[in-house]
Structure 1
Amino acid sequence: MLTYPLSGSSSELVLNVLTMVLTQGKPLDRAYSHNFSGVKLDPTEQARITVVTGDILRRLNLYCFIVDIEPTEFERLGSKLLNGWHLFHGLELPKMQYSLQVDAKLLAEKIEQAKLNQVLWDGCPQWLDELGQAQLQKKWPAERQALMQAPKRYLRVNTLKCDRQSLLTKLSKEGVQAKEVDDVDSAIEVISDSALFRTESFKNGLFEQQDAGSQLVAAAVDAKPGMRVVDACAGAGGKTLHIAAQMQGKGRLLAMDIEQWKLDNLKTRAKRAGAHNVETRIIASSKTIKRLKLTADRVLLDVPCSGLGVLKRNPDSKWRDTAERLPVLIDLQKQIIDSYSRMVKVGGMLIYATCSIMPDENRHQVDRFLAEHPQFEFIDDETILVSERGFDGFYLARMKRVSE
């Protein structure tokens, strides 16, 4: 956390980002991109801005409560909330051009009241707390508390170009402090506020920024050189590139998605990473899947989900998504796994994954699929809980096709 207050200009950037997220409904990453574009910022100061913005969003209802405003009032009263945030963390007030003051005595009283409500103190909206209790029961309080912590920065070593120790050495020479992650062979944790994407190591494709939990999902694919592998919900391709490294660039790796711009970004990343066996294909219709029936040794389905395992990293979704969206996502997941599983050949493996920790999206979905598709058998699964591993939360299940 900060040891001295934000500058006036940095405060304005925080308020601008939060206004885009809370009043315009923009995703946090796009709000950052819009506000940082064309602005010359020292990497350390940019990091401070993202620290404050992220912390406010992770516990938005708490900070609104202690300064007595509603989230819907942010555009008009945002400076009051930012001042309250500084006082809450024992910092002097930032010097903003226009600033609404906070009654320090009332703030202290509200903080004491908030301490009596653990759900509020953890920055959890009511809909999410009710859902978490219903889905995870006794495990939920620990997850709720873990999800309001700041995320750590993890990198995946690109083994197509280097190994973990050589990357650590190169990063150290570039002023980046990092260390090995003991239980994830491909991961290192960055422990300094370095500008990673300005390093020669990044430009040369030696690493990708990827959460350690996400790396465990890709590792479960267990792709081998020479295989035919399909990443059917590839997105921008973080897991695709990890699988390419598993395959040592040998074999065919097909990255598919319904959005062309994501695949275009993946092409750029694959070129930098030296992942020359990656092919991209837009899913234009169900015919795209039918043409690949019974052809793949591995099919990864990292399906659209609630994202409730990655709230540390994407805290804005807590204030945008609601429980009503979950049944819609569950139905979409069902459609994807039922349709896309047809690409797995006999003896091949289907890997189903989400960045959620909720059983309705995870094991319940897998159990339903297996009951309706006896040609697949269950191998194993894992829920990566935030409170237990410290990574983002994920789920993965592996199933083998035993007949047509």
Structure 2
Amino acid sequence: MVLSEGKPLDRAYSHHFSGLQLAPSEQARITVVAGDILRKLNLYCYLSDVKSEEMSRMGTRLLNVWHMFHELELPKMQYALQMDEREYFDRLEKAKVQPALWDGCPEWLDTMGQAQLGDAWAKERAALSTQPKRYLRVNLLKCTREDLGKKLRNEQVQTKEVEGVDTALEVTSDSALFRTESFKKGWFEQQDAGSQLVAAAVDAKPGMRVVDACAGAGGKTLSIAAQMQGKGRLLAMDVEQWKLDSLKQRARRANAHNVETRIIASSKTIKRLKLSADRVLLDVPCSGLGVLKRNPDAKWRDTPERLPVLVALQKHILQSYSRMVKVGGILIYATCSIMPEENRDQIDAFLAENDHFKLIEDENISVADSGFDGFYLAKLERISE
């Protein structure tokens, strides 16, 4: 479904699990195995001698090889295709001396990563092949981080606080988070800790006028609403109405009553807000190459030809949407990419053409160094019209 139909992995999980009565541990097991196979799909295909077009027919061999790789007992499957052990171990030794293959990295991505990050790419590539951790963002409109941790413990969900991210808890147990009362009551959202750092950089205060101009389904919007303590005006905008509809539901559950949604129907929507906002967050469409351990399917669908199109779109959004920032206001540009072409290069080009903005600071959130997903953020101040 993910590879044959191009369906995003999270939606494929939702489709597969709908109607199934699985224990949380069983569901977790399926997601762990499927996610890991996709993170290193080319490696497991190589080890099992299965071509990509043969996966639907030879999937049992691929699954057996995954178990062999992790030194686990082979699953009991009727009519399973076995792998010759001698051939497997021969292939395993050959794979160990091919770093990109070992890290589950397609050739096009390895070439791009080396070109843009140089020596730093190897550690990022390796980190992107690991299983992602589960992080929660406490909803400060309803509880404290300590209260949430205690509440979740009572619901058999084990967590620990995340150093350096005041709103984050890491989930350390295989638990069905969305079945908990804590979730139903809006005490938390599932959100990567790196993403929480991007939202924190907005530093919105109660009473401000804030625009989240590429809001999507609103994870960062809700974080900003908590910063504002529900006071002031928070405008969440996007070009897709279904995402804003989802955000409305989440905002109600979170008690984020100062969130207002608005579809971006044309450039006039942006022009009407010229020089009006204290803060504007531009979490722009990007390659997503910082979040591949969470969305590993993307690297098997994407091609290098997509990046120039995204870079052009980012440049347009940055130039156009920055008009909403008032003098003295702050623009926060962010991506979930680790590629400089989408990040600092964009900021440098923008500042070269817009001397009415100045750079306050920027930050690369490294997958390898942080353990979080990879992000970039830059804070710019408008100093004149």
Once the 2 structures are TM-superposed, how far is the Cα of residue 196 of structure 1 from its aligned partner? 0.7
Q: Report if the CA contact (8 A) 1:122-1:144 is conserved.
A: yes
One-letter amino acid of the counterpart of residue 371, structure 2: G
Q: Which residue of 2 aligns with 1:219?
A: 200
2: distance between equivalents of 1:343 and 1:73?
51
**1:329 aligned to 2:276?**
no
Q: Which residue of 1 aligns with 2:325?
A: 344
Secondary structure (helix, strand or coil) at the match of 1:348 reads: strand
- Summarize deviations over 1:339-371 as a string: whole Å, max 9, x none: 111100111010000000000000000000111
Q: Report if the CA contact (8 A) 1:253-1:279 is conserved.
A: yes
Q: CA RMSD in A?
A: 0.8
Q: TM-score, normalised by structure 1?
A: 0.94
2: distance between equivalents of 1:72 and 1:397?
42
**1:145 aligned to 2:126?**
yes
Q: Which residue of 2 aligns with 1:377?
A: 358
**1:258 aligned to 2:239?**
yes
One-letter amino acid of the counterpart of residue 348, structure 2: D
**1:84 aligned to 2:74?**
no
The structure 2 residue matched to 1:68, chosen from 46, 49, 52, is: 49
Once the 2 structures are TM-superposed, how far is the Cα of residue 166 of structure 1 from its aligned partner? 0.9
The structure 1 residue matched to 2:173, chosen from 180, 192, 197, is: 192
- Summarize deviations over 1:170-215 as a string: whole Å, max 9, x none: 1111111001001111111010001111111111111110000000
Q: Which residue of 1 aligns with 2:157?
A: 176
Q: Which residue of 2 aligns with 1:7?
A: none
One-letter amino acid of the counterpart of residue 377, structure 1: K
One-letter amino acid of the counterpart of residue 164, structure 2: D
Q: Report if the CA contact (8 A) 1:23-1:74 is conserved.
A: no
Q: What does 1:30-109 align with in structure 2 at a 5 Å threshold?
A: 30-109=11-90
Secondary structure (helix, strand or coil) at the match of 1:315 reads: coil
- Summarize deviations over 1:299-319 as a string: whole Å, max 9, x none: 000000000000010000111
Once the 2 structures are TM-superposed, how far is the Cα of residue 289 of structure 1 from its aligned partner? 0.4
Secondary structure (helix, strand or coil) at the match of 1:255 reads: strand
2: distance between equivalents of 1:307 and 1:159?
28
One-letter amino acid of the counterpart of residue 384, structure 2: S
Secondary structure (helix, strand or coil) at the match of 1:249 reads: coil
Once the 2 structures are TM-superposed, how far is the Cα of residue 276 of structure 1 from its aligned partner? 0.3
Q: Which residue of 2 aligns with 1:17?
A: none
The structure 1 residue matched to 2:299, chosen from 318, 341, 347, is: 318
Secondary structure (helix, strand or coil) at the match of 2:373 reads: coil
Matched residue pairs, number? 385
Q: Which residue of 2 aligns with 1:8?
A: none
2: distance between equivalents of 1:296 and 1:73?
53
2: distance between equivalents of 1:223 and 1:71?
47
Secondary structure (helix, strand or coil) at the match of 2:261 reads: strand
Secondary structure (helix, strand or coil) at the match of 1:75 reads: coil
One-letter amino acid of the counterpart of residue 146, structure 1: A
Secondary structure (helix, strand or coil) at the match of 2:79 reads: coil
Secondary structure (helix, strand or coil) at the match of 2:327 reads: strand
**1:272 aligned to 2:241?**
no
Secondary structure (helix, strand or coil) at the match of 1:139 reads: helix
Once the 2 structures are TM-superposed, how far is the Cα of residue 33 of structure 1 from its aligned partner? 1.3
The structure 1 residue matched to 2:281, chosen from 274, 279, 300, is: 300
Q: TM-score, normalised by structure 2?
A: 0.99
2: distance between equivalents of 1:71 and 1:233?
35
2: distance between equivalents of 1:200 and 1:48?
23
2: distance between equivalents of 1:70 and 1:312?
22
Q: What does 1:204-215 align with in structure 2 at a 5 Å threshold?
A: 204-215=185-196
One-letter amino acid of the counterpart of residue 169, structure 1: K
Once the 2 structures are TM-superposed, how far is the Cα of residue 138 of structure 1 from its aligned partner? 1.1
Quote the sequence identity (%). 74
Q: Which residue of 1 aligns with 2:145?
A: 164
